Structure 1
Amino acid sequence: MAKSYVPTYNVDDFNEIKEGKATILFPKNNEVFYNPVQEFNRDMSIAAIKTWRDLATEVKMERFNKSTNPNKIAPPTNITILEALAASGLRSVRYAKEIDGIDHILTNDLLEDAVESIKRNVHFNGLSQSLVRANQGDAISVMYSYRDKGRFDVVDLDPYGTAAPFIDGAIHAVNKGGLICVTCTDLAILASNNHPETCFAKYGGNPLKAEFCHELALRLVIHSLQQAANRQKRYIEPLLSCSIDFYVRIFVRVHDKPLMVKTVASQTGVVYHCRYCGSFATQKFGTCEEGNNNNHKYHIADAPVVNQRCANCGSKQDIGGPCWLGSLHNEEFVRRMYDNVSKAGKSMYGTQPRMKGMLKVILEELDDAPFHYELSQLCSAVRVSCPPLIKINSALLNAGYKVSGAHTRQGSIKTNAPPKVVWDVMRTIVKETGRSAKITDGSPADVILSHEVQTNVSFAEHKDANPESRRIKLVRYQINPEKFWGPKARHSEAPKAKKPKLE
């Protein structure tokens, strides 16, 4: 039995910081850091956990009502949460005060000062130690220790930097059907080609310096999660995958379904990306042929899907991945979460306008078309001024294809149209405006424009070319919220007073 916490702090030694329904005592000596920009992360996490809990409860009750067992007992609906890397304890305090139906939260950190901060903030917010249980321990060891003695319904990983070392432990520590929430802030590794060897070592795939680098970052992290789950005969289902500011935040549901594990090869692969024009193509590792009575057939995919040189401009191509090529989101989950956030208002979520904007853009996002183009990059490739995005969207829609934006980048064009159709649209734009005198013979731009237009391109405005999120003026893409708004300095334990020397 853990000792009861006896408060010994002086409130005058702290700054009070309010976020949501919580008020934390932030040490004036910066013993544990606070980053206000991460309020959005915590708001989204609270809304996601509430949405997951409601859906999970509905499934449990539906199964209970269908059961014909005369001695049936209603399933428990209270949930348990592990915050593995808690720092000040703000996240756990907010979870405890803002999410109903929590049995308990294990709030863990390695450092003694952080654990003291957790206890202090739990006490200051009037929460019981049995509801929010402060724990000092190595996060990986703690997660493995709960594999056999009672897994958690929700495991939250929000480290400083990469979550890679903690992923395997989280898979072991979460219940069947449970939720894992993962943050990675190392986008310098995940969303550029500066250190591909480091990214491969951490996540098992290569990043790319591409217009869709932030979407690829999401897919690399999901791939890492999926591989860790598959080794335990488990399968992860992405519910919501967000590229936010300087980090990614991903929510996945964990299933104990070996049959689903077999489908992973057909949802995993690589992406080829042209260094000049930005054209891309994906190559899955396998195929899944559905048969009768779940008798599926699995095959290795045919190759190759591209040549060494880009078919559109003749330039060299890079290869990214392996990465997840399946869905980034569960539409029902996102729609339910969007509805809940919309009803809640700013009184519950301080960042509610931005939450609505991001969730709405995600709902509009094509989920069966991995990766995207970017308007300014397409125009740069053929040396033409940027037309309105609605004009390009209309042309693709009028040609019979689907199109949307992507929440990962402003000015993005996500479509199921093949690259040759996209470039036919751009060739038509050049014909309208005139070819730039700066394009030299034999250059990549010249190669692109030398192809004949084979698509019937119409720029008549299509009714779906302007997405609803834009029409109703939601906060679709975040601007810099403040100066120096990126990751704060890594937390370090406060220095201990030196012992006096004995004479």
Structure 2
Amino acid sequence: MEVEAEDTPKKNDDSQLISEGLAKIKTTGKVFYNPVQEFNRDLSISIITTFAKRFNEEKILKANKHHLDIKVTVNKNAIVQEAGIKYEDGISILEALSATGLRSIRYAKEIPGVKKIIANDISHKAVEDIKRNIVENKVEHIVDSSHNDAVLLMYQHRKEHQFEVIDLDPYGCPSIFLDSTIQAVKEGGLLLITATDMAVLAGNSPETCYSKYGAVSLRMKSCHEMALRILLQCVEAHANRYGRYIVPLLSLSADFYIRIFVRVFSGASKCKFTTSKLSHVYHCSGCDSFALQPLGVIKTNEKNKQIKFGIPTGPPVSKNCEHCGRPHHIGGPIWSAPLHSPDFVQEVLNTASEKLATFKRIQGVLSVIYEELLQFPLYYTLERLSGTIHVEMPPMMAVRSAILNAGYKVSFTHMNKTSIKTDAPPKVIWDIMRCWAKSHPVSKKRLIENTPACSILAKQPEKDYSFDIHPDANPQSRKLGFVRFQENPLPHWGPGSRATAMVGDQKILKSKKKSRQKEKGTISRKW
């Protein structure tokens, strides 16, 4: 009689074998797994690796300074740790919503300097998969499975045994987890937070966005950056309630989701600076121009260097847009401070492993992020500027050169391949487009009275802007041919469907709850 091999799935078995990075897992087929997210996991590994190294260095410096009261310089090459080995003085990681356990297993096998990883999920079937996969990948000494409600688990760690790293990758909106997440992370710890409800964050449902994130979203071409900034202000709001604040290391918009990597620190005095990091957005409904109104301002006394916090005057725009005459929409508040830490991004670029399957994409995206202008929120897009006045779209290098030739700064953003992020005011941008329209006339049929195009082109530019190619117009990432903007990775790609194991568990719980209510006679008849 022939015996079927253990690794051979049975005919009626809906399980699947998955190999990614150094991990090999088996799922029941009912637990959520999305192959498109490999880039997400690869990038997370690179960032946690860089953070762990920096966190350990900071810990050594702090310990030496506390005991010896002297300045100590740490050689970054002196701290050498290996992946797959448990370090008692290493970092602890919580993957709050683990599903298959793939991410936690990869963290254990690919991130050096780890003490403990908890792979948690509320689904009983998912936890069964996680336990089996932990054993089969031989990472029991580092990874522990947990069958718990993520919020409850994090509240249990809010005072003792906090985590250096918490990875929060929910299906949809993460806001219901933020209060517990902020309390469960250690001082100076790292939060990795994903949001996939992009329709809400990108302006399709501003009222829902406010109820979930505490900010009004806007439908504008820079909606992906707006989404990131809404999520950041939401996390900052939760942190401020406990005298804590965030410092963004990297903010990413990719595929069908946004993901932020932020450090959390404590300090009631530092929380006072939050209002100066937040702004409302005035967005023209006709030409897509925008202006920001900060919630607070900071003034420093030059004599004694004393800082004073004030309330700004406003609004920054008139009732109707000065360029096209259309009314403004008001959104926010959004995070208007920098989205990234350039030093950290450069460090990740230097340390990211070329063995990662998506290394080229990581290299390209982080290179563009490193080049982004930090102090100037939101951006224009070339097709929107051209489409508004119905003019032939100019070459990107020509527009970038015109901005640089005028004495302003300009950069791409990783969120859009035709993006124009600049410190030039909207008037200068439209004057540049007017100059382009002079040499590339618009058909008179397109210039209908009382339209944005007619209003904008009716005005003359204050001066002639030069479109001669500027030496800095072509960024380094483009010169080097990096994969800067990813094409759709798979047909019908997206966030996928919610895990059926989770849905099944919820149905069982609801069924049991109804049974108990019937026994107690607490279900009222529907009339």
TM-score, normalising length: structure 2: 0.88
Q: Which residue of 2 aligns with 1:23?
A: 24
Q: Which residue of 2 aligns with 1:11?
A: 7
Residue 385 (structure 2) aligned to one of 374, 378, 384: 378
1:480 lines up with 2:488 in the alignment = yes
Superposed displacement of residue 67, structure 1: 4.2
Q: Which residue of 2 aligns with 1:501?
A: none
Matches within 5 A, 1:242-253: 242-253=252-263
Q: Which amino acid aligns with 1:231?
A: R
1:106 lines up with 2:118 in the alignment = yes
Tell me which moved more, 58-67 or 118-127: 58-67
Q: Which amino acid aligns with 2:495?
A: P
Distance 1:93 1:293, change over 3 A: farther
8 A contact 1:37–1:485 mirrored in 2: yes
Q: Which residue of 2 aligns with 1:121?
A: 133
CA deviations over 1:377-428 (Å, ceiling 9, x no partner): 0001111011110000000001000000111111000000000000010000
8 A contact 1:11–1:25 mirrored in 2: no
Matches within 5 A, 1:375-414: 375-414=382-421
1:492 lines up with 2:491 in the alignment = no
8 A contact 1:393–1:465 mirrored in 2: yes
Secondary structure at the residue paired with 1:323?
strand
1:303 lines up with 2:314 in the alignment = yes
1:32 lines up with 2:42 in the alignment = no
Superposed displacement of residue 152, structure 1: 0.4
Distance 1:455 1:258, change over 3 A: farther
Q: Which amino acid aligns with 1:394?
A: S
Superposed displacement of residue 60, structure 1: 2.2
Secondary structure at the residue paired with 2:207?
helix
Find the aligned partners of 1:448 and 1:412 in 2 and give their Cα distance: 21
Matches within 5 A, 1:447-462: 447-462=455-470
Superposed displacement of residue 449, structure 1: 1.2
Q: Which residue of 2 aligns with 1:4?
A: none
Find the aligned partners of 2:42 and 2:305 in 1 and give their Cα distance: 40
Find the aligned partners of 1:416 and 1:390 in 2 and give their Cα distance: 17
Q: Which amino acid aligns with 1:319?
A: I
Superposed displacement of residue 76, structure 1: 7.3
Residue 477 (structure 2) aligned to one of 469, 473, 494: 469
Query: Unpaired segments of 5 or more residues in structure 1?
Result: 1-8, 499-503
8 A contact 2:435–2:464 mirrored in 1: no
Q: Which amino acid aligns with 2:421?
A: K
Q: Which amino acid aligns with 2:19?
A: K
Q: Which residue of 1 aligns with 2:200?
A: 189
Find the aligned partners of 2:299 and 2:402 in 1 and give their Cα distance: 34
Distance 1:68 1:35, change over 3 A: closer
Find the aligned partners of 1:395 and 1:357 in 2 and give their Cα distance: 25
8 A contact 2:89–2:115 mirrored in 1: no
Question: Percent same amino acid among aligned pairs?
Answer: 44
Distance 1:491 1:419, change over 3 A: same
Superposed displacement of residue 52, structure 1: 1.1
Superposed displacement of residue 257, structure 1: 1.9
Tell me which moved more, 139-148 or 433-442: 433-442
Superposed displacement of residue 472, structure 1: 1.1
Find the aligned partners of 2:300 and 2:113 in 1 and give their Cα distance: 40
Matches within 5 A, 1:139-218: 139-192=150-203, 194-218=204-228
1:44 lines up with 2:43 in the alignment = yes
Matched residue count = 480
Secondary structure at the residue paired with 2:337?
coil
8 A contact 2:88–2:115 mirrored in 1: no
Find the aligned partners of 1:335 and 1:163 in 2 and give their Cα distance: 28
Find the aligned partners of 1:458 and 1:300 in 2 and give their Cα distance: 40
Find the aligned partners of 1:443 and 1:109 in 2 and give their Cα distance: 54
Find the aligned partners of 1:172 and 1:66 in 2 and give their Cα distance: 27
Distance 1:392 1:134, change over 3 A: same
Q: Which residue of 1 aligns with 2:523?
A: none
Q: Which amino acid aligns with 2:130?
A: I
Find the aligned partners of 1:368 and 1:478 in 2 and give their Cα distance: 25
Q: Which residue of 1 aligns with 2:264?
A: 254
8 A contact 1:399–1:456 mirrored in 2: no
Q: Which residue of 1 aligns with 2:440?
A: 433
Distance 1:68 1:165, change over 3 A: closer
CA deviations over 1:260-299 (Å, ceiling 9, x no partner): 2111101101111112211100010110123467631000
Distance 1:473 1:235, change over 3 A: same
1:282 lines up with 2:283 in the alignment = no
8 A contact 1:42–1:91 mirrored in 2: yes
Tell me which moved more, 31-40 or 176-185: 31-40
Find the aligned partners of 2:271 and 2:305 in 1 and give their Cα distance: 14
1:59 lines up with 2:67 in the alignment = no
CA deviations over 1:160-180 (Å, ceiling 9, x no partner): 111110011110100000000
Tell me which moved more, 295-304 or 75-84: 75-84
Query: Unpaired segments of 5 or more residues in structure 2?
Result: 10-14, 75-86, 509-527
Superposed displacement of residue 440, structure 1: 2.2
Q: Which amino acid aligns with 2:7?
A: V
Find the aligned partners of 1:439 and 1:376 in 2 and give their Cα distance: 18
Matches within 5 A, 1:67-86: 67-69=66-68, 77-86=89-98
CA deviations over 1:151-205 (Å, ceiling 9, x no partner): 000011001111110011110100000000000110011113x211111000001
Superposed displacement of residue 59, structure 1: 1.9
Superposed displacement of residue 452, structure 1: 2.1
Find the aligned partners of 2:300 and 2:119 in 1 and give their Cα distance: 44
Secondary structure at the residue paired with 1:12?
coil
Find the aligned partners of 1:418 and 1:481 in 2 and give their Cα distance: 36
Secondary structure at the residue paired with 1:308?
coil
1:232 lines up with 2:242 in the alignment = yes
